[in-house]
Chains A and B, each alone.
Chain A
Amino acid sequence: MTKVVMTGNYAQSYASKLARAQVVAAYPITPQTSIVEKIADFVASGEMETQYIKVESEHSAMQACISAAALGARSYTATSSQGLLLMHELLFWAAGQRAPIVMGIINRAVAPPWSIWTDHTDSMAQRDTGWIQYYCESNQEVLDTVLQAYKVAENPEIRLPAMVMEDAFYLSHTIEAVDVPPQGDVDAYIPLKRSPWLLDLEKPTRMGSFMGPDIYMEYRYLVAKAMEDSKKVIVEADEEYGRRFGRSYGGLLPTYRCDDADVVLLTIGTASCTAMEVVDELRKEGKKVGLARMRVFRPFPGEEIAKLASSVRAIGVVDRSWGFGHRGTMFTEVAGSIYRAKSRPLMKDYITGVGGRDITPQVLRDIYLDLLKAREGGDEMEWWGLRRPEKEVNRNA
């Protein structure tokens, strides 16, 4: 077992090297840049045999990966915020063409105004594209999840692209000691295999085509079905990873001390590790709180949420993103999943941490206390920690 001290970004680079990505096409954007720089180092030193295309935009990066995937080459790319938004059109294309691309996303806030700090709006805005979405909370998890993502994406029943998210700066630029699995074991876990739907010189076909209303709906249904079927495959890939490498992450919705919890917070990304500390602290004070981490947002773990909801009094959703015009992105989906439950818990949406505002232990503690006090008929949503316009904005407060 090799332990290497690395940032979350380098974890992505090492993972793509272990996965033997055959084509990498990426465009730099803060805070993703060190991923592609490290890959360039690997290629220059000969450690990684990949066709590295230094494309001129993120849109071109995604297209280059889609075209390479159409031939059956394993592709990888990475981006953030504006770059991801620029790729939006092609994300639908990748899913519709069933290209098993894995993309690293460093969650970064969206402009205007320019912000390089973390929030999840960029990837939340891609939730309809048909990509599988993983959110990680540690550099180790990033490395492991990229490998799991290839396993799921290239499964012949699934063949959907996957994105592996990590928080900007909290993971991308902070260092952790990460276990790097041996190449041979990774090769056994995700061998390179050719799939049946590819561009083939022997049997000339056209991939893309155009379809009338008589058949288009069925094609979309096929993607929806693959997304549903991927839930099982995601859990299996995680369990197999645990057996082979000794680490697994609890499938779609890992929970922490939820069994006898009164209220539960649902978090995504690095806020989860902070929340676990707060849970322990509050438990010592006798408060029955728990934490559930949304590790996989697409496909949405509706059944797991419904099961959790049936045993708690209140669920607080910590949305580190915003979806204008309604409640937070995660809240709406969670509420939708428990719509048919026999008994519904109280729910409150906490929008916080947006634009990189720090989610400190104090913030989470206050949220838990607020949730414990929450009663029927109270506020359904709160932008937590908002500096009220009527109060003077003190940057150091």
Chain B
Amino acid sequence: MKTYKTYADLPGAPIADVPTQEESTAGWRTSRPVLDPKNCSKCYICWKFCPDTAISVNDEGWPTIRYEHCKGCGICAAECPKECIVMEREV
């Protein structure tokens, strides 16, 4: 997290340049999606519909959920045509 000790460190105009990537939204969740690759057909519908781009595809082509940025909205679980994703209560 960028910190500014004095006003002299601030850029003169309000210019924001730190990507939100550095912030975790994991604490927003009450349930987390868990993906079972057994029936996964790599259709990537889950990747496509995540509003937080928290699902990426690894080198083997399996969708992987990045939990530090998942807010637990449940869209991936609702849209997976093979029902590979289940929402598990965390809280």
A touching B, CB within 8 angstroms: yes
Q: Does any Cβ of B come within 8 Å of A96's Cβ?
A: yes
Contact between B7 and A222, CB atoms less than 8 A apart = yes
Contact digits for B44-87, partner A, Cβ 8 Å, 1 yes 0 no: 00000000000000000000000000000000000000000000
Q: How far is the CA of A209 from the CA of B10 in the complex (A)?
A: 13
Contact between A205 and B16, CB atoms less than 8 A apart = yes
With a cutoff of 8 Å between Cβ atoms, the chain B residues found around residue A226 in the complex are 12
**Nearest CB in chain B to that of A223: its residue:** B12
Instruction: Place the interface of chain A in its size category.
Output: 20 to 34
Q: Does any Cβ of B come within 8 Å of A111's Cβ?
A: no
Contact digits for A76-120, partner B, Cβ 8 Å, 1 yes 0 no: 000000000000000000001110000000000000000000000
Distance of B5 from chain A, by nearest CB (Å) = 11
Most buried by A among B10, B13, B14, B15: B13
20 contacts between A and B (CB under 8 A): A96-B13, A96-B14, A97-B13, A97-B14, A98-B12, A159-B13, A197-B11, A197-B15, A205-B15, A205-B16, A205-B17, A209-B16, A215-B4, A215-B10, A218-B4, A218-B10, A219-B10, A219-B14, A221-B7, A222-B10
Q: How far is the CA of A187 from the CA of B17 in the complex (A)?
A: 33
With a cutoff of 8 Å between Cβ atoms, the chain A residues found around residue B12 in the complex are 98, 159, 197, 222, 226
Specify the main secondary structure of chain A where it touches its partner: loop
**Nearest CB in chain B to that of A156: its residue:** B12
Contact between B14 and A211, CB atoms less than 8 A apart = yes
Contact digits for A319-358, partner B, Cβ 8 Å, 1 yes 0 no: 0000000000000000000000000000000000000000
**From B4, B10, B16, contact of A206 by CB (8 A):** B16
Other contacts beyond A98-B12, A207-B15, A208-B14: 20, CB < 8 A: A97-B13, A97-B14, A98-B13, A159-B12, A196-B11, A197-B15, A204-B17, A205-B15, A206-B17, A207-B16, A209-B15, A209-B16, A211-B14, A215-B10, A218-B7, A219-B7, A219-B10, A219-B14, A221-B7, A222-B10
Distance of A246 from chain B, by nearest CB (Å) = 34
CB under 8 Å from chain A, chain B span 9-29: 10-17
Q: How far is the CA of A219 from the CA of B10 in the complex (A)?
A: 8
With a cutoff of 8 Å between Cβ atoms, the chain A residues found around residue B16 in the complex are 205-207, 209
